[in-house]
Amino acid sequence: MGGTITYSVSTHWKDDLFQMNSRIRQILEEAGTKTISITDLMKEFGLSDDTIKLFTEIEVLHNVAKIGGGGTAKRGSYELTNFADELIKLYERSSEEEKINKILHRKLKKKFFQYDFFFNFLNFFFHNINQNSRELNLNKSQLRNQFLEYCIEIYGTCEFIDRITFDNIYNFSMQDHLLELKDDNTIVLNTEYFTIVDFVNLNLLIERELKKHSEGMITRKLCEYLIQNHIHFYYGGDLTLFEVYNLILNLYEEKVENIFIKFNFHGGVPYPPIPSPHTIIKYQEI
């Protein structure tokens, strides 16, 4: 699960990113060096310390730490990463804008838990509340309130979403075109981002149910429970036992990135007919 971002990020951070990358590469080539100081980043590009932190966390900049007194590492010089070079090459080809947005979207999902959770919320809202309409018919404040209600429903709290954090998530979503703002200030979704299965919520449901059964559950019973609660993780039609079992296997066999499971099959993974009624699945950190 990704980290959190509690500092404030500019609404035009993506523009800053590409203007900075192109200029830094030019400066470094002219100077015959590989690094640039944090002072020059702020002075030359007008970047805030928070924006520099963001670029470091999404692996556009790499901090070449200097060792200070007492052996502690200090933020000193920065260098562009290979990831930054890949983005610049795409940026220089104007036809690759959509690809850039989706690359940044995946990076933000990986690095920041709240952004990833916000995307899961939009996925749920799109398929189950909004009936597959692009138009949310919500302004920013209303969207935040809906998101906080969703956080409370899933986690029992919304303490990890303060005003600054939500503003960051919202700015991220606008810059990578996950969300778009209409003239009347209502919000529409870019439906190309959405998938049919929310594996994060599926994993949460499995963990929550298995914790209630210290001796484990019959695999078939767990599948039946998930089918009854499929609205929280599946945004298609009806699910069969075989289909939901295969979703569990996708988690178990680590076919889904950045999700850490806490369950195991007692006696080994069952084979067809699936799911075998006698196979036990238990809550257990693997």
Per-residue burial over 218-243, b = 16 or more CB atoms within 10 Å of its CB, e = otherwise: bbbbbbebbeeebebbbbeeebebee
pLDDT score for 71:
46
**Omega of the bond prior to 273 within 30 degrees of 0, cis?**
yes
State residue 140's pLDDT score.
94
pLDDT-derived band at 106 (thresholds 50, 70, 90) equals confident
Most confident option among 25-34, 163-172, 246-255: 163-172
CATH number for the domain that contains residue 55: 1.10.10
Domain boundary among 173, 193, 213: 193
Residue 173 in contact with residue 179, Cβ under 8 Å? yes
276 or 39: which leads in pLDDT: 39
Answer with the one of 92, 121, 138 that is the final residue of a domain: 92
pLDDT tens string 124-158: 888 888 888 899 989 999 999 999 999 998 888 88
**Are residues 207 and 186 part of one domain?**
no
Domain range for 84 is: 13-92
181 with 205, same domain: the answer is no
Cα–Cα distance for residue pair 117/109, rounded to 1 Å: 8
DSSP-assigned letter for residue 92: T
- Structurally, how many domains does the chain consist of? 3
In a domain, 36, yes or no: yes
Among 194-198, 241-245, 249-253, the range scoring the smallest mean pLDDT is 194-198
- Average pLDDT, integer, range 28-34: 83
Percent of the chain whose pLDDT exceeds 90: 30
Residue 70 pLDDT > 60: no
Same structural domain for residues 230 and 277? yes
Structure tokens at 83: 């990831």
List residues bridging with 112 in a β-sheet. 3
Mean residue pLDDT across the chain: 85
Residues 112 and 172 both lie in one domain: yes
Note whether 134 and 189 are same-domain residues: yes
CA distances from 271 to 146, 147, 255, 265, 281 (A): 42, 40, 18, 12, 14
**Whole-number pLDDT of residue 223:** 93
High-pLDDT (> 70) share of the chain, %:
93
Q: Is the same domain home to 179 and 140?
A: yes
**Structure confidence at residue 118 as a pLDDT band (50, 70, 90):** very high
Residues 87 and 145 occupy one common structural domain: no
The verdict on 187 and 100 lying in the same domain is yes
pLDDT for 67 equals 47
Tell whether 7 is covered by a domain: no
